Structure 1
Amino acid sequence: MLSTCENAWLVPHAKLEGISLMDHLFGRLNGMYPNKWRSNFRDEQAINDWKAAWAEAFDEDGITPHDVADGIKNCRRMYDWPPSLAEFLKACRPTLDSETAFHVAVKGMAARRKGEAGDWPHPAVFWAAAEVGQYDMLAQSWQTLKSRWEAAYSIQLARQSWDEIPAPAVALPAPGQTAATKEQVDAGIQAMAAAAVAKPRDPKAWAHKILANPKGRSPAVVAMARRALEEKAA
Protein backbone atom coordinates (compact mmCIF):
# COMPACT_ATOMS: atom_id res chain seq x y z
CA MET A 1 0.00 0.00 0.00
CA LEU A 2 1.28 3.46 -0.86
CA SER A 3 2.32 5.83 1.89
CA THR A 4 1.16 9.41 2.18
CA CYS A 5 4.45 10.63 0.70
CA GLU A 6 4.02 8.45 -2.39
CA ASN A 7 0.39 9.19 -3.13
CA ALA A 8 -0.74 12.66 -4.22
CA TRP A 9 -4.31 11.90 -3.11
CA LEU A 10 -3.19 11.79 0.53
CA VAL A 11 -1.05 14.94 0.56
CA PRO A 12 -2.52 18.08 2.24
CA HIS A 13 -3.31 20.94 -0.17
CA ALA A 14 -3.23 24.62 0.71
CA LYS A 15 -6.12 25.30 -1.70
CA LEU A 16 -8.22 22.84 0.29
CA GLU A 17 -7.41 24.57 3.58
CA GLY A 18 -4.74 22.04 4.44
CA ILE A 19 -6.69 18.83 3.89
CA SER A 20 -5.97 16.12 1.31
CA LEU A 21 -7.96 15.30 -1.80
CA MET A 22 -9.23 12.17 -0.05
CA ASP A 23 -10.39 14.19 2.96
CA HIS A 24 -12.19 16.52 0.57
CA LEU A 25 -13.83 13.59 -1.21
CA PHE A 26 -14.90 12.12 2.14
CA GLY A 27 -16.60 15.39 3.00
CA ARG A 28 -18.36 15.61 -0.36
CA LEU A 29 -19.71 12.07 -0.09
CA ASN A 30 -20.75 12.69 3.50
CA GLY A 31 -22.67 15.74 2.37
CA MET A 32 -24.32 13.88 -0.50
CA TYR A 33 -25.32 10.93 1.65
CA PRO A 34 -25.87 12.34 5.17
CA ASN A 35 -25.78 9.67 7.87
CA LYS A 36 -25.66 6.88 5.25
CA TRP A 37 -22.03 7.57 4.34
CA ARG A 38 -20.58 8.06 7.83
CA SER A 39 -22.42 5.03 9.17
CA ASN A 40 -20.02 2.86 7.13
CA PHE A 41 -17.14 3.87 9.43
CA ARG A 42 -17.15 2.76 13.05
CA ASP A 43 -14.00 4.66 14.04
CA GLU A 44 -11.15 6.86 12.79
CA GLN A 45 -9.10 3.83 11.76
CA ALA A 46 -11.88 2.71 9.42
CA ILE A 47 -11.82 6.15 7.77
CA ASN A 48 -8.04 5.99 7.40
CA ASP A 49 -8.33 2.51 5.87
CA TRP A 50 -10.91 3.85 3.39
CA LYS A 51 -8.68 6.76 2.40
CA ALA A 52 -5.66 4.52 1.89
CA ALA A 53 -7.56 1.91 -0.16
CA TRP A 54 -9.31 4.40 -2.42
CA ALA A 55 -6.18 6.53 -2.88
CA GLU A 56 -4.24 3.44 -3.91
CA ALA A 57 -6.94 2.46 -6.43
CA PHE A 58 -7.05 6.00 -7.85
CA ASP A 59 -3.28 5.97 -8.28
CA GLU A 60 -3.22 2.53 -9.92
CA ASP A 61 -6.11 3.33 -12.28
CA GLY A 62 -4.78 6.76 -13.23
CA ILE A 63 -7.84 8.56 -11.87
CA THR A 64 -7.58 12.34 -12.16
CA PRO A 65 -9.29 15.14 -10.19
CA HIS A 66 -11.44 15.70 -13.31
CA ASP A 67 -12.52 12.06 -13.12
CA VAL A 68 -13.43 12.41 -9.44
CA ALA A 69 -15.44 15.56 -10.17
CA ASP A 70 -17.35 13.60 -12.81
CA GLY A 71 -17.75 10.74 -10.34
CA ILE A 72 -19.31 12.98 -7.71
CA LYS A 73 -21.67 14.45 -10.28
CA ASN A 74 -22.64 11.06 -11.68
CA CYS A 75 -23.17 9.50 -8.25
CA ARG A 76 -26.05 11.89 -7.71
CA ARG A 77 -28.00 10.28 -10.52
CA MET A 78 -26.59 6.75 -10.42
CA TYR A 79 -26.70 5.77 -6.74
CA ASP A 80 -29.26 6.29 -3.98
CA TRP A 81 -26.84 4.79 -1.48
CA PRO A 82 -23.13 5.54 -0.95
CA PRO A 83 -21.04 3.90 -3.67
CA SER A 84 -18.50 1.15 -3.18
CA LEU A 85 -15.04 1.67 -4.64
CA ALA A 86 -15.97 -0.23 -7.81
CA GLU A 87 -19.17 1.78 -8.18
CA PHE A 88 -17.38 5.07 -7.70
CA LEU A 89 -14.73 4.18 -10.28
CA LYS A 90 -17.53 3.38 -12.73
CA ALA A 91 -19.10 6.78 -11.99
CA CYS A 92 -15.73 8.47 -12.56
CA ARG A 93 -15.34 6.97 -16.02
CA PRO A 94 -18.77 6.23 -17.43
CA THR A 95 -19.20 4.81 -20.90
CA LEU A 96 -22.19 4.48 -23.15
CA ASP A 97 -23.86 1.24 -22.12
CA SER A 98 -23.67 -1.46 -24.75
CA GLU A 99 -27.30 -1.46 -25.86
CA THR A 100 -27.51 2.33 -26.11
CA ALA A 101 -24.30 2.39 -28.15
CA PHE A 102 -25.73 -0.31 -30.44
CA HIS A 103 -28.84 1.70 -31.28
CA VAL A 104 -26.71 4.81 -31.85
CA ALA A 105 -24.58 2.75 -34.24
CA VAL A 106 -27.62 1.49 -36.15
CA LYS A 107 -28.76 5.07 -36.76
CA GLY A 108 -25.24 6.05 -37.76
CA MET A 109 -24.91 3.17 -40.22
CA ALA A 110 -28.31 3.98 -41.73
CA ALA A 111 -27.12 7.55 -42.30
CA ARG A 112 -23.87 6.38 -43.89
CA ARG A 113 -25.77 4.14 -46.29
CA LYS A 114 -27.42 7.32 -47.56
CA GLY A 115 -24.06 9.03 -47.95
CA GLU A 116 -24.38 11.04 -44.73
CA ALA A 117 -21.79 11.15 -41.96
CA GLY A 118 -24.10 10.06 -39.16
CA ASP A 119 -23.80 11.00 -35.48
CA TRP A 120 -20.98 9.12 -33.76
CA PRO A 121 -20.54 10.23 -30.12
CA HIS A 122 -17.34 8.19 -29.83
CA PRO A 123 -15.13 6.51 -32.45
CA ALA A 124 -15.34 3.21 -30.55
CA VAL A 125 -19.01 3.05 -31.50
CA PHE A 126 -18.22 3.47 -35.19
CA TRP A 127 -15.37 0.98 -35.30
CA ALA A 128 -17.39 -1.61 -33.38
CA ALA A 129 -20.17 -1.18 -35.93
CA ALA A 130 -17.67 -1.50 -38.77
CA GLU A 131 -16.39 -4.74 -37.22
CA VAL A 132 -19.89 -6.20 -37.06
CA GLY A 133 -20.61 -4.95 -40.59
CA GLN A 134 -23.08 -2.48 -42.02
CA TYR A 135 -25.34 -5.14 -43.51
CA ASP A 136 -25.80 -7.03 -40.25
CA MET A 137 -26.12 -3.83 -38.22
CA LEU A 138 -29.05 -2.73 -40.36
CA ALA A 139 -30.62 -6.14 -40.96
CA GLN A 140 -30.38 -7.80 -37.55
CA SER A 141 -31.94 -6.99 -34.19
CA TRP A 142 -30.22 -6.16 -30.90
CA GLN A 143 -31.16 -9.60 -29.53
CA THR A 144 -29.55 -11.34 -32.52
CA LEU A 145 -26.35 -9.27 -32.52
CA LYS A 146 -25.99 -8.77 -28.76
CA SER A 147 -23.03 -11.13 -28.27
CA ARG A 148 -21.16 -10.00 -31.38
CA TRP A 149 -21.77 -6.34 -30.65
CA GLU A 150 -20.72 -6.52 -27.01
CA ALA A 151 -17.50 -8.32 -27.95
CA ALA A 152 -16.63 -5.79 -30.67
CA TYR A 153 -17.59 -2.80 -28.50
CA SER A 154 -15.56 -4.04 -25.52
CA ILE A 155 -12.48 -4.49 -27.69
CA GLN A 156 -12.82 -0.97 -29.09
CA LEU A 157 -13.38 0.64 -25.69
CA ALA A 158 -10.19 -1.01 -24.43
CA ARG A 159 -8.10 0.75 -27.07
CA GLN A 160 -6.19 3.92 -26.18
CA SER A 161 -6.66 5.62 -29.56
CA TRP A 162 -8.75 5.23 -32.66
CA ASP A 163 -8.37 6.03 -36.33
CA GLU A 164 -10.40 8.93 -37.58
CA ILE A 165 -13.89 8.00 -38.74
CA PRO A 166 -13.72 7.96 -42.56
CA ALA A 167 -16.05 9.99 -44.71
CA PRO A 168 -19.00 7.97 -46.01
CA ALA A 169 -18.98 6.73 -49.58
CA VAL A 170 -21.19 8.57 -52.05
CA ALA A 171 -24.69 7.09 -51.86
CA LEU A 172 -25.75 5.29 -55.03
CA PRO A 173 -29.35 4.71 -56.16
CA ALA A 174 -31.13 1.71 -54.66
CA PRO A 175 -31.48 -1.41 -56.85
CA GLY A 176 -34.18 -1.02 -59.47
CA GLN A 177 -34.06 2.76 -59.41
CA THR A 178 -32.33 5.16 -61.79
CA ALA A 179 -28.75 4.13 -62.54
CA ALA A 180 -25.94 6.19 -61.14
CA THR A 181 -24.67 9.01 -63.27
CA LYS A 182 -21.06 9.13 -64.45
CA GLU A 183 -20.44 11.98 -62.04
CA GLN A 184 -21.73 9.90 -59.13
CA VAL A 185 -19.61 6.95 -60.08
CA ASP A 186 -16.51 9.11 -60.56
CA ALA A 187 -17.09 10.82 -57.22
CA GLY A 188 -17.51 7.47 -55.51
CA ILE A 189 -14.31 6.11 -57.03
CA GLN A 190 -12.38 9.23 -56.06
CA ALA A 191 -13.68 9.03 -52.50
CA MET A 192 -12.69 5.38 -52.17
CA ALA A 193 -9.27 6.05 -53.67
CA ALA A 194 -8.66 8.95 -51.31
CA ALA A 195 -9.71 6.83 -48.33
CA ALA A 196 -7.35 4.06 -49.42
CA VAL A 197 -4.26 6.29 -49.49
CA ALA A 198 -5.06 8.87 -46.82
CA LYS A 199 -3.14 8.61 -43.59
CA PRO A 200 -5.04 9.01 -40.34
CA ARG A 201 -4.77 12.44 -38.85
CA ASP A 202 -4.99 13.31 -35.16
CA PRO A 203 -6.55 10.21 -33.52
CA LYS A 204 -7.88 12.48 -30.77
CA ALA A 205 -9.70 14.84 -33.14
CA TRP A 206 -13.04 13.39 -32.07
CA ALA A 207 -12.32 14.32 -28.44
CA HIS A 208 -11.37 17.91 -29.32
CA LYS A 209 -14.62 18.20 -31.31
CA ILE A 210 -16.75 16.95 -28.40
CA LEU A 211 -15.13 19.19 -25.77
CA ALA A 212 -15.33 22.20 -28.06
CA ASN A 213 -19.11 21.76 -28.18
CA PRO A 214 -20.27 19.51 -25.30
CA LYS A 215 -23.84 20.83 -25.30
CA GLY A 216 -26.30 17.98 -25.77
CA ARG A 217 -23.64 15.30 -25.22
CA SER A 218 -24.11 12.72 -22.50
CA PRO A 219 -21.85 12.91 -19.41
CA ALA A 220 -20.37 9.57 -20.47
CA VAL A 221 -19.26 10.88 -23.85
CA VAL A 222 -17.82 14.11 -22.41
CA ALA A 223 -15.92 12.16 -19.77
CA MET A 224 -14.50 9.77 -22.38
CA ALA A 225 -13.34 12.69 -24.51
CA ARG A 226 -11.69 14.48 -21.58
CA ARG A 227 -9.97 11.27 -20.51
CA ALA A 228 -8.64 10.67 -24.03
CA LEU A 229 -6.99 14.11 -24.13
CA GLU A 230 -5.55 13.69 -20.63
CA GLU A 231 -4.00 10.37 -21.71
CA LYS A 232 -2.50 12.07 -24.74
CA ALA A 233 -0.90 14.75 -22.60
CA ALA A 234 0.44 12.30 -20.03
Structure 2
Amino acid sequence: MTTTLSTSTHWPTEALPKKWIDDLFDRMLMTFGKRFSDQWQGTDPQKLKEFWGTRMATLTSVEMRSGVEAMLKLKWPPTLNEFIELCRPSLDMTVAYYEAVNGMEARRKGEKGEWSHPAIFWAASKMTHDLLNQTYSNIKTRWENALSKELQKNGWPDIPAVMEALPAPGKTETDKERASRELENLNASGILKKQPGLAWAKKIMARKANGETLPAISVNWAQEAIKELA
Protein backbone atom coordinates (compact mmCIF):
# COMPACT_ATOMS: atom_id res chain seq x y z
CA MET A 1 0.00 0.00 0.00
CA THR A 2 1.15 3.55 -0.72
CA THR A 3 -0.20 6.85 0.51
CA THR A 4 -0.93 8.07 -3.01
CA LEU A 5 -4.57 9.02 -3.41
CA SER A 6 -6.65 7.75 -6.28
CA THR A 7 -7.56 10.12 -9.08
CA SER A 8 -11.00 10.73 -7.55
CA THR A 9 -11.58 14.34 -6.58
CA HIS A 10 -14.37 13.45 -4.15
CA TRP A 11 -13.85 14.28 -0.50
CA PRO A 12 -16.63 14.07 2.11
CA THR A 13 -17.79 17.51 3.17
CA GLU A 14 -18.33 16.32 6.75
CA ALA A 15 -14.77 15.00 7.08
CA LEU A 16 -11.63 16.69 8.37
CA PRO A 17 -9.70 18.67 5.73
CA LYS A 18 -8.17 16.36 3.15
CA LYS A 19 -4.71 17.85 3.70
CA TRP A 20 -4.81 16.92 7.39
CA ILE A 21 -5.44 13.28 6.55
CA ASP A 22 -2.86 13.23 3.74
CA ASP A 23 -0.26 14.66 6.11
CA LEU A 24 -1.22 12.18 8.83
CA PHE A 25 -0.87 9.16 6.54
CA ASP A 26 2.45 10.45 5.20
CA ARG A 27 3.68 10.88 8.77
CA MET A 28 2.60 7.35 9.70
CA LEU A 29 4.32 5.90 6.63
CA MET A 30 7.55 7.76 7.38
CA THR A 31 7.40 6.72 11.05
CA PHE A 32 6.40 3.06 10.79
CA GLY A 33 7.41 2.16 7.24
CA LYS A 34 6.50 -1.40 6.23
CA ARG A 35 4.58 -1.97 9.45
CA PHE A 36 2.14 0.72 8.36
CA SER A 37 1.82 -0.40 4.73
CA ASP A 38 1.38 -4.06 5.73
CA GLN A 39 -1.33 -3.11 8.21
CA TRP A 40 -3.56 -1.76 5.45
CA GLN A 41 -2.48 -4.03 2.59
CA GLY A 42 -5.34 -4.70 0.20
CA THR A 43 -7.33 -1.66 1.38
CA ASP A 44 -8.23 1.12 -1.05
CA PRO A 45 -6.15 4.15 0.07
CA GLN A 46 -8.78 6.71 -0.95
CA LYS A 47 -11.61 4.97 0.88
CA LEU A 48 -9.40 4.43 3.92
CA LYS A 49 -8.51 8.11 4.14
CA GLU A 50 -12.11 9.18 3.63
CA PHE A 51 -13.21 6.83 6.40
CA TRP A 52 -10.59 8.14 8.81
CA GLY A 53 -11.37 11.74 7.91
CA THR A 54 -15.09 11.24 8.51
CA ARG A 55 -14.69 9.36 11.79
CA MET A 56 -12.32 12.03 13.13
CA ALA A 57 -14.46 14.96 12.00
CA THR A 58 -14.95 16.34 15.53
CA LEU A 59 -11.23 16.54 16.33
CA THR A 60 -9.63 19.97 16.51
CA SER A 61 -6.24 20.89 15.06
CA VAL A 62 -4.83 21.02 18.61
CA GLU A 63 -6.10 17.51 19.34
CA MET A 64 -4.69 16.25 16.04
CA ARG A 65 -1.25 17.63 16.89
CA SER A 66 -1.43 16.01 20.32
CA GLY A 67 -2.34 12.70 18.72
CA VAL A 68 0.55 12.86 16.26
CA GLU A 69 3.03 13.70 19.02
CA ALA A 70 1.79 10.76 21.10
CA MET A 71 1.84 8.48 18.04
CA LEU A 72 5.54 9.13 17.44
CA LYS A 73 6.29 7.34 20.72
CA LEU A 74 4.60 4.12 19.60
CA LYS A 75 6.36 1.07 18.16
CA TRP A 76 3.42 0.05 15.97
CA PRO A 77 1.04 2.17 13.86
CA PRO A 78 -2.27 2.85 15.62
CA THR A 79 -5.67 1.78 14.38
CA LEU A 80 -8.30 4.47 13.85
CA ASN A 81 -9.80 4.10 17.32
CA GLU A 82 -6.36 4.02 18.91
CA PHE A 83 -5.38 7.23 17.13
CA ILE A 84 -8.58 8.99 18.23
CA GLU A 85 -7.77 7.96 21.81
CA LEU A 86 -4.31 9.49 21.39
CA CYS A 87 -5.89 12.73 20.19
CA ARG A 88 -8.58 12.84 22.84
CA PRO A 89 -7.58 10.72 25.85
CA SER A 90 -10.35 9.64 28.17
CA LEU A 91 -10.48 11.97 31.14
CA ASP A 92 -10.55 10.70 34.70
CA MET A 93 -13.43 12.64 36.25
CA THR A 94 -11.83 12.72 39.70
CA VAL A 95 -8.45 13.87 38.41
CA ALA A 96 -10.21 16.50 36.29
CA TYR A 97 -12.11 17.70 39.38
CA TYR A 98 -8.94 18.39 41.36
CA GLU A 99 -7.41 20.07 38.32
CA ALA A 100 -10.50 22.30 38.14
CA VAL A 101 -10.29 23.19 41.84
CA ASN A 102 -6.58 24.03 41.60
CA GLY A 103 -7.13 25.96 38.39
CA MET A 104 -9.95 28.07 39.79
CA GLU A 105 -8.00 28.78 42.97
CA ALA A 106 -5.11 29.95 40.79
CA ARG A 107 -7.41 32.25 38.82
CA ARG A 108 -8.64 33.84 42.04
CA LYS A 109 -5.00 34.71 42.70
CA GLY A 110 -4.73 36.35 39.29
CA GLU A 111 -3.03 33.39 37.60
CA LYS A 112 -4.29 31.55 34.52
CA GLY A 113 -4.06 28.09 36.08
CA GLU A 114 -2.98 24.86 34.41
CA TRP A 115 -5.58 23.22 32.19
CA SER A 116 -4.93 19.92 30.40
CA HIS A 117 -8.13 20.29 28.37
CA PRO A 118 -10.30 23.37 27.68
CA ALA A 119 -13.45 21.39 28.49
CA ILE A 120 -12.30 21.16 32.12
CA PHE A 121 -12.02 24.94 32.34
CA TRP A 122 -15.40 25.64 30.75
CA ALA A 123 -17.13 23.05 32.94
CA ALA A 124 -15.44 24.51 36.03
CA SER A 125 -16.33 28.09 35.07
CA LYS A 126 -20.03 27.25 35.36
CA MET A 127 -19.73 26.03 38.96
CA THR A 128 -16.73 27.86 40.41
CA HIS A 129 -18.38 28.69 43.74
CA ASP A 130 -19.33 25.08 44.45
CA LEU A 131 -15.93 23.77 43.37
CA LEU A 132 -14.20 26.04 45.87
CA ASN A 133 -16.64 25.59 48.74
CA GLN A 134 -17.97 22.04 48.62
CA THR A 135 -16.42 18.59 48.81
CA TYR A 136 -16.13 16.32 45.80
CA SER A 137 -18.66 13.87 47.21
CA ASN A 138 -21.24 16.66 47.43
CA ILE A 139 -20.93 17.77 43.80
CA LYS A 140 -19.60 14.60 42.15
CA THR A 141 -22.71 13.99 40.03
CA ARG A 142 -23.06 17.63 38.99
CA TRP A 143 -19.37 17.85 38.11
CA GLU A 144 -19.41 14.69 36.01
CA ASN A 145 -22.53 15.85 34.16
CA ALA A 146 -21.06 19.29 33.51
CA LEU A 147 -17.76 17.91 32.22
CA SER A 148 -19.43 15.22 30.11
CA LYS A 149 -21.61 17.87 28.49
CA GLU A 150 -18.57 19.99 27.65
CA LEU A 151 -16.65 17.04 26.22
CA GLN A 152 -19.47 16.38 23.75
CA LYS A 153 -18.80 19.70 22.02
CA ASN A 154 -16.75 19.85 18.83
CA GLY A 155 -14.56 22.72 19.99
CA TRP A 156 -14.02 25.26 22.73
CA PRO A 157 -13.12 28.96 22.91
CA ASP A 158 -9.66 29.85 24.13
CA ILE A 159 -9.30 29.99 27.89
CA PRO A 160 -9.58 33.72 28.68
CA ALA A 161 -6.96 35.74 30.48
CA VAL A 162 -7.61 36.50 34.14
CA MET A 163 -9.30 39.84 34.74
CA GLU A 164 -8.19 42.01 37.64
CA ALA A 165 -10.62 41.73 40.53
CA LEU A 166 -13.03 44.67 40.76
CA PRO A 167 -15.69 45.48 43.36
CA ALA A 168 -18.96 43.70 42.70
CA PRO A 169 -21.88 45.84 41.47
CA GLY A 170 -23.11 48.02 44.30
CA LYS A 171 -19.87 47.66 46.28
CA THR A 172 -17.13 50.23 46.67
CA GLU A 173 -14.33 47.88 47.70
CA THR A 174 -12.93 44.48 46.78
CA ASP A 175 -12.93 41.49 49.13
CA LYS A 176 -9.25 42.13 49.86
CA GLU A 177 -9.93 45.76 50.77
CA ARG A 178 -12.87 44.75 52.92
CA ALA A 179 -10.76 42.18 54.76
CA SER A 180 -8.06 44.78 55.41
CA ARG A 181 -10.62 47.23 56.80
CA GLU A 182 -12.23 44.60 59.02
CA LEU A 183 -8.83 43.53 60.32
CA GLU A 184 -7.95 47.12 61.21
CA ASN A 185 -11.27 47.53 63.02
CA LEU A 186 -10.68 44.26 64.83
CA ASN A 187 -7.28 45.38 66.10
CA ALA A 188 -8.51 48.86 67.03
CA SER A 189 -11.47 47.55 69.03
CA GLY A 190 -9.33 45.41 71.31
CA ILE A 191 -11.60 42.43 70.76
CA LEU A 192 -8.68 40.04 70.38
CA LYS A 193 -7.33 40.97 73.79
CA LYS A 194 -10.74 40.30 75.32
CA GLN A 195 -11.30 37.11 73.34
CA PRO A 196 -8.00 35.19 72.83
CA GLY A 197 -10.00 32.39 71.23
CA LEU A 198 -10.46 34.58 68.17
CA ALA A 199 -6.79 34.35 67.20
CA TRP A 200 -7.64 31.82 64.49
CA ALA A 201 -10.17 34.26 63.00
CA LYS A 202 -7.58 37.03 62.97
CA LYS A 203 -5.16 34.79 61.09
CA ILE A 204 -7.77 34.07 58.44
CA MET A 205 -8.65 37.75 58.05
CA ALA A 206 -4.95 38.65 57.85
CA ARG A 207 -4.33 36.06 55.14
CA LYS A 208 -7.33 37.37 53.21
CA ALA A 209 -6.11 40.95 53.60
CA ASN A 210 -2.72 39.93 52.20
CA GLY A 211 -4.41 38.76 49.03
CA GLU A 212 -4.37 35.03 49.68
CA THR A 213 -7.23 33.09 48.12
CA LEU A 214 -9.16 31.23 50.80
CA PRO A 215 -12.36 29.18 50.73
CA ALA A 216 -15.28 31.56 51.15
CA ILE A 217 -16.70 29.38 53.89
CA SER A 218 -13.54 29.86 56.02
CA VAL A 219 -13.75 33.64 55.71
CA ASN A 220 -17.46 33.57 56.53
CA TRP A 221 -16.84 31.49 59.66
CA ALA A 222 -14.15 33.90 60.81
CA GLN A 223 -16.39 36.92 60.26
CA GLU A 224 -19.33 35.27 62.02
CA ALA A 225 -17.17 34.22 64.98
CA ILE A 226 -15.90 37.77 65.42
CA LYS A 227 -19.42 39.19 65.34
CA GLU A 228 -20.76 36.63 67.81
CA LEU A 229 -17.96 37.00 70.35
CA ALA A 230 -17.45 40.74 70.04
Q: Normalized against structure 1, the TM-score is what?
A: 0.48
Q: Normalized against structure 2, the TM-score is what?
A: 0.49
